[in-house]
Chain A
Amino acid sequence: GEDVEQSLFLSVREGDSSVINCTYTDSSSTYLYWYKQEPGAGLQLLTYIFSNMDMKQDQRLTVLLNKKDKHLSLRIADTQTGDSAIYFCAESNPDTGRRALTFGSGTRLQVQP
């Protein structure tokens, strides 16, 4: 079945860039997402990318997709302490009826002042 892998932890200093990586196994994934979870809260969609794109930029966020290697990354520029959270990579393929997202295990980002 589908599988999504992420490293569990990343620590950066405030003002640096953060890069969170994700790999997935389903080559037919058509949508790839990044969600953010703050302590004690549910997940919120940060950004997403269609599989026919290789990059998407949204203010401080840059998503890179390498479809050949099935690798997705999220870059956060000028990381702030408010960016400390767990970041989840997820994928789906609604064209096959698989609308529910498959999530990775989440990467905990710690931003040090």
Chain B
Amino acid sequence: NAGVTQTPKFQVLKTGQSMTLQCAQDMNHNSMYWYRQDPGMGLRLIYYSASEGTTDKGEVPNGYNVSRLNKREFSLRLESAAPSQTSVYFCASSFFTGELFFGEGSRLTVL
């Protein structure tokens, strides 16, 4: 059972570079989420998609864009990476509510 798969697991970028974090789930979940995790700050919601075709901003959306490509896939794009975006990024999905299933995380370093 794959669950939620994120790629890449690790990435190092230079300031100003762009990249896309990919996320796919095979549980037929309606909702998908992108969070970032920083030390002492817990998880903060960047964007979420309640259903295919919809996306909404979370707590910290600046500097990011998302695409809900289809029901399975939800990507997060950094158009011009900044050192403040150094973090661990988690994708999650849920069918109804509450029980979010998380990927293993993508560790991003921006130099």
Contact = CB atoms under 8 A, between A and B. Distances in A.
Contacts of B96: 94
Contacts of B42: 4, 6, 88, 103-106
B43 A88 contact: yes
Interface residues of A, number: 25
Contacts of B31: 99-100
Interface in A43-77: 43-45, 48
Contacts of A40: 104-105
Interface string A21-60: 0000000000101010000111111001000000000000
Nearest to A88: B42
Interface residues of B, number: 26
Interface of A: 1, 4, 6, 8, 31, 33, 35, 40-45, 48, 88, 92, 94, 99-106
Interface of B: 4, 31, 33, 35, 40-45, 48, 50, 58-59, 90, 92, 94, 96-100, 102-105
28 contacts: A1-B59, A31-B97, A35-B100, A42-B4, A42-B102, A42-B103, A43-B43, A43-B92, A44-B102, A45-B98, A45-B99, A45-B100, A88-B42, A92-B98, A94-B96, A99-B31, A99-B48, A99-B94, A100-B33, A100-B45, A100-B48, A100-B58, A101-B98, A102-B45, A103-B43, A103-B44, A105-B41, A105-B42
